[in-house]
């Protein structure tokens, strides 16, 4: 009788353990469907900088620091986005960030600096390294023969691969996923660049950003870039997701 009770107790404990683990796993999966605070801040900072809304950007930068982004991570965001909206917006974003940090220091707030970018291993030509990174992002082998705009103006292909995908994407302060959040935020904000947005939304899915997170991204863009740009981004996202379902 005692042995039977012991067996029943063990079985019950085992069942509870399985249920608990399953519940925790489900909770983790549920949590992963949403953007975290740092990711939301990256989107907000990138969009407001691209738009040139410096007053709101100050608030966004402070919220980003409070969300746990380091000083170097935010600087990297502001540097990365210049490739998509130009030096003027990027530099104004950096200058605004300097003002925010100065004000916070005056208030006795010491923000975490964070890690610096690691030295890049230059074991191949910059062009080939950029080509490799682009292949990793798109999950497609990059052709040797140029086509489209790259064939029309080959120098832009060189700039893209050597600078954007080698010099910038190879830096490890931000992950590929975080860099894609920057990219799609800027492209959606400046507008009228649907083919590029479509490409980067696809890359976002490749690097681990979920469809639910991208839908959440569109909602955030609505508050920073406006209804028109958000609607356009949402339509492009629908096309990308439908295309993925057909594959």
Q: What share of the chain is helix, strand, coil (3-state, %, to 5)?
A: 75, 0, 25
Domains parsed from the chain with CATH numbers: 37-110+172-246 (1.20.1290.10)
pLDDT in the model for residue 33:
82
Interatomic CA distance for residues 19 and 13, integer angstroms: 10
Q: What is the pLDDT of residues 37-51, one digit of tens each?
A: 999 999 999 999 999
pLDDT of residue 32: 57
The CA distance from 194 to 29, in Å, is 31
Over 60: is that where the pLDDT of 31 sits? no
| Residue where the block lists tokens 């029943």 | 8
pLDDT at 99 over 60: yes
State residue 121 phi and psi, 5-degree precision: -75, 105
In this structure, how many other beta carbons lie within 10 angstroms of the beta carbon of residue 144?
6
pLDDT of 29 strictly over 80: no
Rounded mean pLDDT of 190-207?
A: 97
Burial of residue 38 (CB within 10 Å: 0-12, 13-18, 19+) is: middle
pLDDT one-digit tens code per residue, 37-90: 999 999 999 999 999 999 999 999 999 999 999 999 999 999 999 999 999 999
Task: Give residues with Cβ within 8 angstroms of 137, minimum separation 6.
Answer: 165, 169, 176, 180, 203, 206, 207
| Other CB atoms within 10 Å distance of the CB of residue 86 | 13
State the sign of the Cα–Cα–Cα–Cα dihedral 5, 7, 8, 10: positive
How much of the chain, in percent, has pLDDT values that exceed 70? Answer: 87
pLDDT tens-digit series, residues 216-244: 999 999 999 999 999 999 999 999 999 99
Predicted confidence at residue 122, as pLDDT, reads 83
pLDDT above 80 for 144: yes
Residue, of 123 and 136, whose pLDDT is higher: 136
Task: Give the orientation angle of helix 176-190 with respect to helix 37-51, to 10 degrees.
Answer: 40
Q: Tokens 């950029």 — which residue? A: 130
């Amino acid at each position: 009788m005692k042995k039977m009770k012991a067996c029943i107790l063990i079985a019950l404990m085992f069942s509870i353990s399985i249920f608990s683990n399953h519940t925790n796993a489900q909770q983790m999966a549920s949590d992963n469907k949403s953007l975290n605070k740092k990711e939301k801040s990256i989107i907000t900072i990138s969009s407001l900088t691209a738009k040139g809304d410096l007053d709101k950007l100050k608030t966004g930068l402070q919220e980003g620091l409070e969300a746990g982004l380091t000083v170097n991570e935010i600087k990297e965001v502001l540097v990365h986005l210049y490739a998509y909206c130009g030096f003027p917006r990027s530099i104004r974003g950096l200058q605004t960030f300097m003002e925010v940090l100065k004000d916070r220091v005056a208030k006795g707030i010491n923000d975490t600096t964070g890690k610096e970018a690691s030295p890049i291993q230059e074991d191949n030509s910059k062009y080939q390294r950029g080509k490799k990174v682009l292949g990793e992002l798109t999950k497609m082998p990059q052709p040797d023969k140029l086509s489209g705009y790259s064939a029309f103006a080959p120098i832009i292909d060189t700039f893209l691969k050597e600078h954007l995908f080698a010099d910038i994407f190879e830096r490890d302060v931000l992950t590929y996923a975080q860099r894609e959040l920057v990219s799609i935020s800027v492209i959606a904000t400046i507008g009228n660049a649907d083919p590029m947005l479509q490409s980067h939304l696809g890359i976002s899915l490749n690097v681990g950003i979920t469809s639910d997170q991208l839908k959440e991204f569109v909602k955030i863009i609505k508050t920073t870039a406006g209804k028109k740009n958000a609607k356009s981004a949402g339509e492009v996202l629908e096309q990308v997701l439908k295309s993925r379902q057909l594959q």
